[in-house]
Structure 1
Amino acid sequence: MSVHGTLLLRHHRPFIAFWLARVFTASGFQMLTVAIGWQMYSLTGSVLDLGLVGLIEFLPKILFILITGHVADRFDRRKVAALCQSAQGLVALGLLIGTTVDGISRETIFLIAFLLGTARAFEMPTTQALLPNIVPPGLFPAAVAASASAMQSATIVAPALGGLLYALGAGWVYGPATLLYVIALSLMLSLPAQQKPLKQKISVESLLAGFRFIRSRADVFGAVSMDMVAVLLGGATALLPVFAKDILLTGPWGLGLLRSAPAVGALLMSIYLARHPIERRVGPVMFSSVAIFGVATIGFGLSTSLWFSLVTLVLLGAADMISMVIRGAFVQLQTPDEMRGRVGAVNGLFIGASNQLGDFRAGLTASWFGTVPAVLIGGVGAIVVTGLWIKLFPTLARRDHMHEPTTEHAAKVL
């Protein structure tokens, strides 16, 4: 562990509570995702339905984009996050009851996906904005890396655990997931109140401040948009149940391993980046990572071996973590606290577009061309995006340092 990481854990108990809350929330969500995906594919056998689940989960990010960030800036972020976690816990409890009475249908899963997506649409910008409130500026980079490692740790263990538990029955997944959310919201409410809520009146200008902030910075906009488009095209998460069942000939446990593999790569990379932060040649490193993401996606699409598929997904996750860390540094460190929620909501929209819309894109193209061609098309698309964005954002491609002082410029977009 780095010196900063040691100081962070030793002297900042609120961060430990925040870190654990993130672990439990992410674990609950990953377990739900594995179970819902497998249950939907078992019910309908439709790859398009798998994509629709991702699309429906993403819709709340669009519908409530102007509200979620403002809520995070105006109200107590601890309470908002805890409320979102309680809502997700109720979703898990509803799935447990529905499975017990054999009342889960295709339409029920779509409704559950929308409710889950709504809770997460409010939770993401809130927790992102909350972190700077509990960590001193000097330890913030280490906190970002540690927070990322928490998410990836949960993404490694929880899907595999969810797959194993699902073999015993869907209820064995939904029950523990409910408990994880209860623990998470308790930890979130234990954090100290250090936020200065936004006092500005709600207006069109204040609601759109997050968009204006990101759009006013070419490098920030280029980073988040490239990541969004690359993952939108290259994402294949929605098709993992198909690969597990029909191509790799494995069961729910294999699906859990496949969902965990990208997080293994991401965790290893986040640990490396915490000890060796990216300080020079930021642009070339990020563009290279996106290209590697595309190559790994192609390798996964061509694989017929579970173990080789796991290797390609580990590489994919490591490459994606690099761009995520750079994007996080651009957005969080350069944003004033009073508008972090609104900027985080916009950033969450980009992330959600890449993940949930990527799931829909994968399901749609798989229904048109077949599962393997859909993944190959996505991998090639991510590589093409790399070259295109070098032309569109040349300063980002040549960028050397991670962040630059932008306080004066930030004030202008408020």
Structure 2
Amino acid sequence: MDPYAALRYREFNIFLLVRFAMVFAWSMQFIVIEWQVYSMTKDPLSLGIIGLMEVIPAVSTALFAGHIVDQKEKRNLLVKCILGFSVISFGLFILSLPSVLAQTETLNLLYGIYFLVFLGGIVRAFLGPTIFSLIALIVPKKIYPNAATWSSTTWQMASVLGPALAGFSISLIGVHWSMCLIFGFSVLALIFLFQISKKPIMNPNIGEPVFQSLKEGLKFVFGSKAVFGALTLDMIAVLFGGAVALLPIYAQDILQVGAEGFGILRAAPAVGAALIMFASTRFPLHRNAGKKLLLAVFGFGICIIVFGLSTSFWLSVVALFLSGGVDGVSMIIRQTILQLKTPDNMRGRVASVNSMFVGSSNELGAFESGATAKLMGTVTAVVFGGTMTLLTVGITAFVSPTFRNLDLKKDVEEHEESN
């Protein structure tokens, strides 16, 4: 298959620019918030609360958001999501003004940051399903796997540069102007998005009662062993392997490498994932997908344990780099499963369930990491998370031979023949 098949469509290239700008801004913003909050409180639990403030609205509104996405035109809905993010970024820019910091009590500043993060969780509940659905309207079905790989690669590239630039920009220009830069990227994403035309609504059940719609979406996810298995495995692994939430502690207190080192640590997983994703455009991962996914998550758990025990900066960087590589394999396989197995009229709802299982587990994992670090210490918390990830893989491989033997070769061939 042509490794550049999806890139031959102009609107898909524009879509990748939009996704890059948004993920870059979002990942950079999350890092700047983490740094600022920990600098203000020196409390690991405060980092966990950031994740909790985003995961609560993201999970509670996810299914409703999926229903809306399936009922509405996708391009304009994405415009509204980016506008919402821009408002939040501008609010954080205001809160980081030196005059505001000097005249406002720390507790009130924290409440303001948490409130804006909470609003961001609502925006994210709509953003993920909208992006997932829009891809399917830009490229033909026969190149869904290739498009999913390039989309995930773009996501990882932005995740590399966003955290890295966040660390360096905090050091060079401070938190306030870093937030200004984030706002600028959200505006840039909006400009790019208007170069994509409006898309038809593929759902034949427009006006379907919301509860009936949600019931059908959940029925499909829980009825598909491939989709449900992939989401469950990744959710639990990410939930207990969320060591990145504790990186400000490692950078400031354990490894003592400052903002620049923090940026490198935060970017290392995404660098590894991006390299793997570029390679996968030439070496597809759909054969023996179940075994590869299990091995990838197992490798992720090992890397997290090594990182947790390391007191060497460069060993920590290597462990995080490798964790990103195996996580990239996991992400590509999961996205390929979702793109191939999901009907067009259910993409919003299935993507919403995906955001509940996997996307939100990042923030819930951040809360879990912050809480366990508070209770048992930072290093012990990270090692505990990696160990739980290994146990999850072992249990899944034992109790679900159907998922273990999953192979997507036939699905890929059927989509190619249908086009």
* Pair in the same fold by TM > 0.5: yes
Q: Is residue 4 from structure 1 mapped to residue 8 from structure 2 by the alignment?
A: no
- Counterpart Cα distance in 1 of 2:220 and 2:394: 26
Kindly tell me: are residues 137 and 406 of structure 1, through their superposed partners in 2, closer, same or farther at Cα, counting changes over 3 Å?
Answer: closer
Q: Of the candidates 185, 193, 196, which is equivalent to residue 180 of structure 1?
A: 185
Q: Is residue 390 from structure 1 mapped to residue 394 from structure 2 by the alignment?
A: no
Listed one character per residue, the Cα deviations across residues 34-90 of structure 1 (whole Å, up to 9, x for unaligned) are 110000001111101100110111111222122110111111111111111111111
Name stretches of at least 5 consecutive residues in structure 1 with no aligned partner: 408-414
Listed one character per residue, the Cα deviations across residues 177-233 of structure 1 (whole Å, up to 9, x for unaligned) are 101101112222321223325314223121222211110012221111011001101
Instruction: Count matched residues.
Output: 404
Counterpart in the other structure of 1:412? none
Counterpart in the other structure of 2:77? 80
Counterpart in the other structure of 1:379? 386
TM-score by length of 2: 0.93
- Counterpart Cα distance in 1 of 2:192 and 2:202: 21
Counterpart in the other structure of 1:52? 49
Listed one character per residue, the Cα deviations across residues 9-44 of structure 1 (whole Å, up to 9, x for unaligned) are 3x3110111000000001101111111000000111
Say which SS state the counterpart of residue 3 (structure 2) adopts: helix
Counterpart in the other structure of 2:162? 158
Structure 2 residue identity aligned to 1:187: F
Counterpart in the other structure of 2:130? 126
Q: Is residue 190 from structure 1 mapped to residue 195 from structure 2 by the alignment?
A: yes
8 Å CA contact retained: 1:68, 1:122: yes
The correspondence of residues 12-411 of structure 1 with structure 2, limited to 5 A, is 12-100=9-97, 101-102=100-101, 103=104, 105-167=109-171, 168-198=173-203, 199-402=206-409, 404=411
What is the CA distance between 1:406 and its match in structure 2?
13
- Counterpart Cα distance in 2 of 1:403 and 1:233: 33
- Counterpart Cα distance in 2 of 1:154 and 1:403: 32
Listed one character per residue, the Cα deviations across residues 332-389 of structure 1 (whole Å, up to 9, x for unaligned) are 2211111100111001111133201100110010000000000000111110111101
Kindly tell me: are residues 388 and 308 of structure 1, through their superposed partners in 2, closer, same or farther at Cα, counting changes over 3 Å?
Answer: same
What is the CA distance between 1:131 and its match in structure 2?
0.2
- Counterpart Cα distance in 2 of 1:32 and 1:203: 33
TM-score by length of 1: 0.94
Structure 1 residue identity aligned to 2:360: A
8 Å CA contact retained: 1:300, 1:309: yes
- Counterpart Cα distance in 1 of 2:409 and 2:227: 11
What is the CA distance between 1:126 and its match in structure 2?
0.5
What is the CA distance between 1:391 and its match in structure 2?
2.0
- Counterpart Cα distance in 1 of 2:408 and 2:345: 26
Say which SS state the counterpart of residue 366 (structure 1) adopts: helix
8 Å CA contact retained: 1:267, 1:318: yes
- Counterpart Cα distance in 1 of 2:239 and 2:257: 26
Say which SS state the counterpart of residue 67 (structure 2) adopts: helix
Deviates further, 168-177 or 94-103: 94-103
8 Å CA contact retained: 1:219, 1:393: no
- Counterpart Cα distance in 2 of 1:359 and 1:98: 23
8 Å CA contact retained: 2:64, 2:214: yes
Structure 2 residue identity aligned to 1:333: L
Deviates further, 98-107 or 245-254: 98-107
Deviates further, 278-287 or 113-122: 278-287
- Counterpart Cα distance in 2 of 1:251 and 1:202: 53
- Counterpart Cα distance in 1 of 2:208 and 2:229: 31
What is the CA distance between 1:236 and its match in structure 2?
1.0
8 Å CA contact retained: 1:295, 1:383: yes
Structure 1 residue identity aligned to 2:216: A
- Counterpart Cα distance in 2 of 1:195 and 1:263: 34
8 Å CA contact retained: 2:24, 2:159: yes
- RMSD between superposed Cα atoms in Å: 1.7
Structure 1 residue identity aligned to 2:214: L
8 Å CA contact retained: 1:362, 1:375: yes
Structure 2 residue identity aligned to 1:365: T
Identity %: 37
Structure 2 residue identity aligned to 1:319: V
Counterpart in the other structure of 2:417? none
8 Å CA contact retained: 1:210, 1:345: no
Counterpart in the other structure of 1:410? none
Name stretches of at least 5 consecutive residues in structure 2 with no aligned partner: 415-419
